Amino acid sequence: MKTHKEVVGALEILKNLIEDLKEAYTFTAVSIFVIIGLFMFFVEARSMAQKKLKAEGLLLRVLGVLYVIGSIVVYLIIS
């Protein structure tokens, strides 16, 4: 079982980590993640389809959507 001092220390580390994330995850970072997600969804997935790699194309479409939605949701949560 953890002591009170260990729990408080872990919470302080988590608090500092969240503050650092808020500073680093700016609108510019979100924009880059959204652009990468759109590129994966439209360009790379189509490229895989032309190469007859359907599973990879589907994976790229799913990951592209996750990049776009995930980066916006994280930005809204931490801002």
Task: Evaluate if residue 5 carries a pLDDT over 80.
Answer: yes
pLDDT class for 2, splitting at 50, 70, 90?
A: confident
Amino acid at 35: I
pLDDT class for 78, splitting at 50, 70, 90?
A: confident
Q: What average pLDDT does range 56-60 have in this prediction?
A: 97
Task: Please give the structure tokens belonging to residue 28.
Answer: 């510019």
> Would you call 2 helix, strand, or coil by DSSP?
coil
Q: What is the pLDDT of residue 51?
A: 96
- Other C-beta atoms closer than 10 Å to the C-beta of 9 total 12
